[in-house]
Amino acid sequence: MARAMIDPGRDCALCPRLVAFRRAQRAAEPAWFNAPVPTFGDPNARLLIVGLAPGLRGANRTGRPFTGDYAGDLLYSTLLDFGFARGRYDARPDDGLALVGAAITNAVRCVPPENKPTGAEISACRPFLARTIAAFPKLSAIVALGRIAHDSTLSALGAVRARHAFAHGAAHAFDRLRLYDSYHCSRYNTNTGRLTTGMFREVFERVRREMQG
Ligand code: URA
């Protein structure tokens, strides 16, 4: 599938509020990426991780999902530990880190003010998520980081949300794949203890185990 189908163009105009925010960031920080952040990973991915949206000074600055974001430290170290990545994560898009049988995307590709996309923005970006899921023919697992990623992934899969409630550690079976839920690995969730490193690792340990089984 053509890359343009799965990733919005640099000047995607679907969400007026996000376009205005992007314009302001381009003026304030011209050296930053400041554009919809494309999916990153292995074209043969069996695992897709769906985050919420790029962080202002993280993925929006660097152009790679979770890269430079606080949440990226836990996510990438976990992926390295479970063999879903190789190399060294150094919070830079040129750190040489490669995903192995895995890919990372976001439910919303543009950085939203205050890290909070609106319902309309989540819906506007969903076709990109649906095409991203469809573009990985070997996909057997999706890890949704947080409720928004979970809900948007369900809609992208054409599933009924009421039948699949979000819960940390839950797994939902579909024809082609399983959807695993985790609390988002955000600074807020880890600082408050809602998500511990152990809880997060258990999700990926299970994905790894069930992929092999
Ligand atoms: N960075 C991302 O790319 N996505 C998130 O959900 C959080 C930080």
> Confidence band (pLDDT; 50, 70, 90) for 5?
confident
CB atoms within 10 A of CB 63: 18
C-alpha 82/C-alpha 189 separation (Å) is 22
On the question of pLDDT at 1 being above 80, the answer is no
C-alpha 118/C-alpha 204 separation (Å) is 29
On the question of pLDDT at 12 being above 90, the answer is yes
C-alpha of residue 161 to centroid of ligand 1, in Å: 23
C-alpha of residue 55 to centroid of ligand 1, in Å: 6
Q: Is 49 in the pocket of ligand 1 (CB under 6 A)?
A: no
Domain-wise residue ranges, the chain = 13-212
Amino acid at 16: P
DSSP conformation class of 187: H
Burial of 31 (0-12, 13-18, 19+ CB in 10 A): exposed
pLDDT given at position 142: 98
Q: Is 129 in the pocket of ligand 1 (CB under 6 A)?
A: no
C-alpha 96/C-alpha 89 separation (Å) is 8
DSSP conformation class of 97: -
C-alpha 93/C-alpha 71 separation (Å) is 15
C-alpha of residue 184 to centroid of ligand 1, in Å: 9
Instruction: Report pLDDT digits (tens) over 59-92.
Output: 999 999 999 999 999 999 999 999 999 999 999 9
**Could you tell me the pTM of the whole model?**
0.97
**Taking Cα atoms as reference points, which of 135, 150, 142 lies closest to residue 178?**
142
Residue of 32, 56, 66, 105 to test ligand 1 pocket, by largest number of atoms within 8 Å of CB? 66
The CATH architecture one would assign to domain 13-212 is 3-Layer(aba) Sandwich (3.40)
First to last CA, the chain: 29
pLDDT given at position 213: 65
C-alpha 197/C-alpha 176 separation (Å) is 29
pLDDT given at position 123: 98
Segment 19-29 mean pLDDT: 98
C-alpha 192/C-alpha 187 separation (Å) is 8
Q: Is 181 in the pocket of ligand 1 (CB under 6 A)?
A: no
On the question of pLDDT at 2 being above 70, the answer is no
Q: Which atom from ligand 1 is nearest to the alpha carbon of 106?
A: 4
DSSP conformation class of 54: -
Residues in the chain, overall count = 213
Q: Is 84 in the pocket of ligand 1 (CB under 6 A)?
A: no
Nearest CA to ligand 1 atom 1: 66
DSSP conformation class of 37: P
